[in-house]
Each structure stands twice: as C-alpha cells, then as structure tokens.
C-alpha cells in the first residue's frame, strides 16, 4: 500500500487537473472578457457605419468590454462579410451590416458564402430606402423624375451605393421601361458627397441618411421603398412609396449583428442577450432620436429568418425585372 508521501504527487496532479478544468469552465462562463471587434463592411461615414458608432457605447456598456469598429470596405460589403465568415468563430469578431446589403449580394451573384455560413445574433435598427435629389434639381416628387426620364431617355442618372440599391435601380428601369443611367458609388459616404455636389439626378440611401441635409433644405426626399411612419421628422412621414407610383417593390433594411456559423451556440446566446440590452441603452435611444428612427430589437431566430426570406424576395425581383 502506498504511503502518503508516495500518494502526494498523484494527489497534486489530480488537484492541478481539477483546477485546470474549473478554470476552463470559468473562462467560458466569463465571455466576453476581451475586446469585441464590430466589423462594418463599408467606409467610415456611411449610414451603416454611423449606426454602428451610435450603437457602440451601448454595446460596450452591455458587454463590459471595449468594442472597436473595424471598417473593412470592398466589393460592396463582400470583403468585410467574408472576413467574418472565415474568421475565428469565438464571438469576438462580429459583422454589423444592413440585411439588404448582405442579401442583395447573395441574390445578385455567386459568392464564397451564403446565409447558412452565418448565425444571426439580432437586429437593432430598421429603415426603408428612400430616393432623394438635390433641391437644385426640378423634381418635387418621384413622378417628376419618372416623367423627366421618359422625356429624356438615357440622360438622367440614379446614384447607388451597394448591391441593394443597384438592384432596385435596375428593377425600377425594368418595371417602368425607362432608360436612365445607374451610377454606382463605392459607399454611402461617396454618394453623399455626390448628392451635395449635385452630381446625379437622384440617389438612393437607407433612410434616414442625409436627413440633416433635408432639414437644411439642401436635399429633397422623393419616395421610399416602404412606409416611413417611424420617422421622427413629420414632413417625411407621408412620403409616398414605390407602390404609389405603380412599382410593386417593398423592402426595408435591418441593421444587425451576425457571426460565423461555427460560433458556439452558447456564445451566440450571450451575444444576443448583450445586443438586446444594448438596443435599449440610453445612448442608442438618444442616437435614434437624432438620426431619425427609434431602435428596434429583432431576436436572433427572427433575424435569421428575415435574412433567408430577403434572399428569396430579392432573387424574385432580379428574375422579374433585371434583364
């Protein structure tokens, strides 16, 4: 029989193993315990980037760790999205993008990822797209633009920033039979400069981007892709939709958080709880009051279903209108 001295090394080894096991369990339970990187797949200055920065403080407070915005621009948000799809699936690299910006890319072309390459965490901000013009242009509503395009084939221009708005521009051409130029920009920041410079006839943005310029009388809204009831700017609430102009399209983008499909479910659940808390943070609510729409909360399951449904809807629009 082994005496105590002989058994001591085995006992110490067993204690060390137990301690390591407990430490590993504790580490899992403590997520997050280091910096979260929120990947925005656009240049700084666009609508999604602005919303991400409005959300950042509330997310930091809810998570208890630092949150850094990483702008990974390129290929109409594909570059940043691919970074998250192929990144480490530990919950510390999170995509923040508009649902339509992600799903329109999937509807328009073959990519090295699809909706099943990700797990949805939750949506925090939903807005329709709106069509705007510089007030130096003569268009008072969207019908004025359509009439002018009919009278001047191939001469008018519509600026877009991202696959969603490029697809919508093609759909409007297909639905109306009109001929106007589609001018793609690398992101919302560049298109904003073009709108202020009066370089294109009409531009598309996920509302309420450029609301300050609208309030200042520099930019005029013409139409939207869905009702604008949620806008806290009274003149914009009654904006007509594409359907009012005989164009059967209705879409709205939800900005939300998405992670790689290999992220453990327990980590996704913790991120979902953190994002939900952050969506109602005082700082984000105040941001919404200034930016134009109140924040929302779309749970992970519902947000994931929305992404899958949008791909189907956008593919339908493409098949029907884009030749």
**What is the count of structural domains for the chain?**
2
**pTM assigned to the model:** 0.83
Q: Are residues 134 and 120 in the same domain?
A: no
- Residue 29 lies inside a defined structural domain of this protein: no
* Beta-ladder partners of 224: 130, 241
CATH classification at residue 57: 3.40.190.150
What confidence score (pLDDT) does residue 185 get? 93
Q: How far apart are CA 117 and CA 129, in angstroms?
A: 26
Residue where a domain terminates, one of 245, 274, 308? 245
Q: Are residues 56 and 114 in the same domain?
A: yes
Residue from 123, 168, 121, 120 nearest 293 by CA: 123
Contact 118, 258 (CB under 8 A): yes
Contact 189, 45 (CB under 8 A): yes
What confidence score (pLDDT) does residue 25 get? 47
Q: Tell me: the pLDDT tens digits for 216-238?
A: 999 999 999 999 999 999 989 99
Burial of 125 (0-12, 13-18, 19+ CB in 10 A): buried
Low-confidence ranges of the chain (pLDDT < 50): 1, 4, 24-27
Residue where a domain terminates, one of 245, 274, 291? 245
What confidence score (pLDDT) does residue 188 get? 87
- Residue 17 lies inside a defined structural domain of this protein: no
Q: Are residues 179 and 213 in the same domain?
A: yes
What are phi and psi for residue 29, nearest 5 degrees?
-70, -20
**What is the torsion angle, in degrees rounded to the nearest 10, for the CA atoms of residue 67, residue 123, residue 288 and residue 240?**
150
- Residue 15 lies inside a defined structural domain of this protein: no
What confidence score (pLDDT) does residue 289 get? 94
Q: Are residues 119 and 218 in the same domain?
A: no
Residue where a domain terminates, one of 220, 245, 270? 245
CATH classification at residue 231: 3.40.190.10
Determine the structural domain holding residue 144 and report its residue range: 128-245
Q: Are residues 197 and 210 in the same domain?
A: yes
């Amino acid at each position: 029989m082994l005496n105590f001295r002989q058994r001591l090394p085995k006992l110490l080894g067993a204690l060390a193993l137990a301690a390591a096991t407990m430490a590993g369990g504790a580490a899992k339970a403590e997520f997050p315990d280091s910096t979260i990187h929120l990947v925005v797949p656009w240049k700084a200055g666009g609508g999604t980037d602005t919303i991400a920065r409005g959300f950042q403080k509330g997310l930091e407070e809810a998570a208890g760790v630092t949150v850094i915005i990483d702008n990974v621009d390129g290929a109409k948000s594909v570059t940043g999205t691919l970074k998250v799809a192929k990144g480490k699936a530990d919950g510390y690299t999170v995509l923040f993008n508009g649902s339509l910006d992600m799903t329109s890319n999937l509807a328009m072309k073959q990519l090295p990822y699809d909706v099943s390459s990700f797990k949805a965490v939750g949506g925090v901000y939903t807005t329709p797209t709106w069509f705007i013009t510089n007030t130096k242009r003569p268009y008072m509503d969207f019908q004025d633009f359509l009439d002018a395009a009919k009278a001047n084939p191939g001469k008018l221009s519509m600026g877009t920033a991202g696959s969603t708005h490029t697809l919508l521009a093609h759909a409007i051409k297909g639905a109306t039979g009109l001929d106007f130029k589609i001018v793609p920009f690398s992101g919302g920041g560049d298109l904003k400069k073009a709108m202020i410079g009066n370089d294109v006839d009409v531009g598309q943005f996920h509302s309420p981007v450029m609301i300050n310029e609208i309030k200042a009388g520099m930019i005029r809204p013409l139409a939207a892709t869905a009702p604008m009831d949620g806008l806290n700017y009274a003149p914009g609430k009654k904006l007509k939709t594409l359907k009012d102009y005989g164009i059967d399209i209705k879409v709205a983008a939800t900005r939300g958080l998405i992670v790689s499909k290999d992220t453990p479910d327990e980590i996704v659940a913790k991120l979902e709880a953190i994002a939900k808390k952050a969506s109602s943070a005082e700082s984000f609510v105040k941001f919404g009051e200034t930016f134009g729409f109140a924040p929302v909360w779309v749970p992970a399951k519902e947000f994931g279903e929305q992404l899958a449904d949008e791909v189907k809807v956008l593919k339908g629009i493409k098949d029907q209108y884009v030749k």
